[in-house]
Amino acid sequence: MKKITRREALKYLGNSALSAALASLGVSAFTSCTEKGKKRLVFYFTATGNCLYAALQFSDTPLSIPQVLKETDLVFEADEIGLVFPDYQARAPQIVQRFLENATLKAPYLFTIITYGRWACNVVEWWNNFALSRGVRFNYITTILMVDNFLPVFDMTEEMKIDKQEDAQLAQAVADVAAEKDYIPVLSDEERKRCEAVLAHLTPILPVRSETLFRLRPDRCVDCCFCTRVCPRQCITLTSRGIVFEGDCEYCLACIQNCPQNAIELKNGERNPAARYRNPNISINEIVRANRQ
């Protein structure tokens, strides 16, 4: 197998399709080596960059789940394997669930980092049970409070003003994982009851068709096609009629949040249609590379 440096792997990841890279170089090109000499693989899903920023704290070359899912061989082996994804209504995004259902993760130490914006509710417990029911036993699961990108409820301008101390939380998680700490927080009975009561009254956001969710502002759209390229499900295309939404949506909001013209709106309304969010450390091209289909 051809050996490349981590820097080359990163460049490779940026310049060509991940599937081609995995096929020609093998997954070892994306395995980082920890200070203790352990081989670590990190997989992530992101819409607005929080999870990519978090994943980069654990590996220089994290692998994007929407890209990895294009592969047929989903068997991964390392000393440590980690997943980083956002909390969606106290669940994992559908694409992350699909990844766990289809991949074989062989590692003595398995960890998960879940980013969330306001209330993680019982997401850790749910994820742990989901994984166990598929034969995957995580050693460590934690949540990291970051900007809440859920546009129907939160104003992105206000959210960005709140200091959520994400770097301190991430530093703790990085240290925990480096020490291969075993830790899965357990909810008290009272917390569990509160979560169940709230979730019972919450309208599930999925499944939803993208054509019912989004409205395009033709006066603003310049056909730059960033929306088509940040969608992890290929639900957006440029046609002779302009941008068209069609297909089962992930509800990640990557299209709406990353549109440079602010030309996409939620049909059912938003807290502040003028405000959009992407993690300040992550570029739109990194989101494109992570999600394009």
Ligand X SMILES: Cc1cc2nc3c(=O)[nH]c(=O)nc-3n(C[C@H](O)[C@H](O)[C@H](O)COP(=O)(O)O)c2cc1C
Please give the residue ranges that form the binding site for ligand X (CB under 6 A). Answer: 46-51, 86-90, 115-120, 146-150, 205, 251-253, 279
Comparison of 162 and 222: residue with beta carbon closer to ligand X:
162
Comparison of 69 and 252: residue with beta carbon closer to ligand X:
252
| Least Cβ distance, residue 251 to ligand X (angstroms) | 4
Comparison of 51 and 81: residue with beta carbon closer to ligand X:
51
| Least Cβ distance, residue 171 to ligand X (angstroms) | 17
- Which residues lie across from 246 on neighbouring strands? none
| Least Cβ distance, residue 45 to ligand X (angstroms) | 7
Comparison of 148 and 286: residue with beta carbon closer to ligand X:
148
Q: Which candidate, 71, 70, 74, places its Cα nearest to that of 101?
A: 74
| Least Cβ distance, residue 124 to ligand X (angstroms) | 12
- The token pair that represents 116 in the structure block: 């969330």
Comparison of 131 and 146: residue with beta carbon closer to ligand X:
146
Orientation of helix 18-25 relative to helix 6-15, angle to 10°: 140
Peptide bond into 207 cis (omega under 30): yes
Strands 39-44 and 236-239: unpaired
Structure-token match 């570029």, residue found: 283
| Least Cβ distance, residue 114 to ligand X (angstroms) | 8
The one-letter code for the residue type at 185 is P
In the chain, the N- to C-terminal Cα span, in Å, equals 27
